[in-house]
């Protein structure tokens, strides 16, 4: 059961890019231990909304709260401060570095030898190996291999493993299964559920309402910068939610015949 108090609270958020009104009075809550599907057509504002939560965009007006505390400054460190990891297809890993190095990117462990700080390669290799095995990488892949060698699904697994290892509270997955095979997609979805079951908040962005309905506790639909639906998956079927997307949130009056 999700906590009663929201981990993230968004209130009356508006964002303009110049004259373009990209987020229109969006209010939404997200709880720890919840998997929320964020769905909507191209350009609906899904990525823009999560970029605000990560501090990449500053809203024009409205408020964001983490644990009930108002965010006063939006800056790119907000995501790190709040323990948010974003997982996107094709970004977030350096192809020409080893899996172990990618795992620790930006927070490499250091050991001192005669007072001189050196990267602790043994620790990076050991920890990364443990995690890639737990997250289902092939047995013949080692932590010393370059990320280039990995399949799309395995890359996602490294990023997800990293999110778990560094005790993030929120994992945002923006179209995480694009270009993945059916098996890899299932694996990534399974990991999303694992994170949720460990008590993390998972925000799962996709166009595919049917795929995410199977995983999510709740679906939020956006359209043209507005939130047009916010319903738990046990109250609304995927078919009913697809109809909302099709209608763009417009209430269709029944024709009398």
d(CA 228, CA 249): 5
- For the CB of residue 22, give the shortest distance to ligand ATP in the complex, in Å: 4
Question: How many helical (H) and strand (E) elements, i.e. helices and strands, does the chain have?
Answer: 8, 12
DSSP 31-84: -TT-EEEEE--TTSSHHHHHHHHTTSS--SEEEEEETTEEP----TTHHHHHTE
211 touches Mg ion by CB under 5 A: no
Could you tell me the smallest distance in angstroms from the CB atom of residue 204 to ligand ATP?
A: 13
Choose from ligand ATP, Mg ion, none: what does 153 bind? Cβ within 5-8 Å by kind.
none
C-alpha–C-alpha distance, residues 191 and 84, integer Å: 16
Integer Cα distance of 257 and 255 in angstroms: 6
| Closest distance to ligand ATP from the beta carbon of 222 (Å) | 6
Asked if residue 156 binds Mg ion (CB under 5 A), the reply is no
- Parallel, antiparallel or unpaired: strands 84-88 and 170-174: parallel
157 binds Mg ion (CB under 5 A): no
Among ligand ATP, Mg ion, none, residue 17 binds (CB under 5-8 Å by kind): ligand ATP
Cα separation of 26 and 228, whole Å? 9
Which span sits near Mg ion by CB under 5 A: 6-14, 45-53, 55-63, 184-192?
45-53
Beta carbon of residue 139, minimum distance to ligand ATP (angstroms, whole number): 35
Q: Is 129 in the site for Mg ion (CB under 5 A)?
A: no
Q: Shortest gap between Cβ of 220 and ligand ATP (angstroms)?
A: 12
The conformation of residue 240, written as its DSSP 8-state character, comes to H
Interacting residue ranges for ligand ATP, rule: CB under 6 A = 17, 20, 22, 40, 42-48
Which C-beta is closer to ligand ATP: that of 162 or that of 227? 227
* 48: contact with Mg ion by CB under 5 A: no
Binding of residue 47 to Mg ion (CB under 5 A):
yes
Side-chain half-sphere of 20: how many Cα atoms within 13 Å?
A: 8
Measured from the CB atom, the residue of 8 and 49 that comes closer to Mg ion is: 49
Binding partner selected for residue 176 from Mg ion, ligand ATP, none, CB under the kind-specific 5 to 8 Å limit: none
**Which CB sits closer to Mg ion, 86 or 129?**
86
SS3 content of the chain, % helix, strand, coil (to 5): 30, 30, 40
Q: List residues binding Mg ion (CB under 5 A).
A: 47
């Amino acid at each position: 059961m999700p906590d009663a108090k929201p981990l993230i609270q968004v209130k009356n958020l508006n964002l303009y890019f110049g004259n373009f009104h990209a987020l229109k009075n969006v209010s939404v809550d997200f709880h720890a231990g919840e998997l929320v599907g964020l769905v909507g057509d191209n350009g609906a504002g899904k990525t823009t909304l999560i970029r605000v939560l990560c501090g990449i965009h500053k809203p024009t007006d409205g408020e964001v709260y983490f644990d009930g505390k108002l965010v006063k400054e939006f800056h790119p460190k907000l995501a790190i401060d709040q323990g948010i990891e974003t997982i996107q297809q094709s970004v977030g890993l350096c192809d020409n570095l080893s899996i172990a190095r990618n795992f620790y990117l930006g927070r490499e462990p250091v050991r001192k030898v005669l007072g001189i700080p050196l990267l602790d390669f043994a620790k990076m290799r050991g920890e990364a190996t443990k995690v890639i095995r737990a997250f289902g990488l092939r047995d013949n892949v080692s932590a010393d291999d370059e990320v280039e060698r990995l399949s799309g699904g395995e890359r996602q697994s490294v990023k997800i493993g990293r999110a778990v290892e560094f005790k993030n509270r929120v994992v945002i997955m923006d179209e995480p299964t694009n270009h993945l095979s059916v098996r890899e997609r299932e694996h990534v979805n399974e990991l999303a559920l694992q994170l949720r079951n460990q008590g993390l908040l998972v925000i799962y962005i996709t166009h595919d309402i049917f795929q995410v309905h199977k995983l999510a506790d709740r679906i939020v639909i956006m359209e043209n910068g507005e939130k047009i639906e916010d319903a738990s998956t046990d109250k609304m079927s995927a078919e009913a939610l697809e109809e909302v997307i099709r209608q763009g949130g417009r209430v269709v009056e029944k024709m009398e015949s």
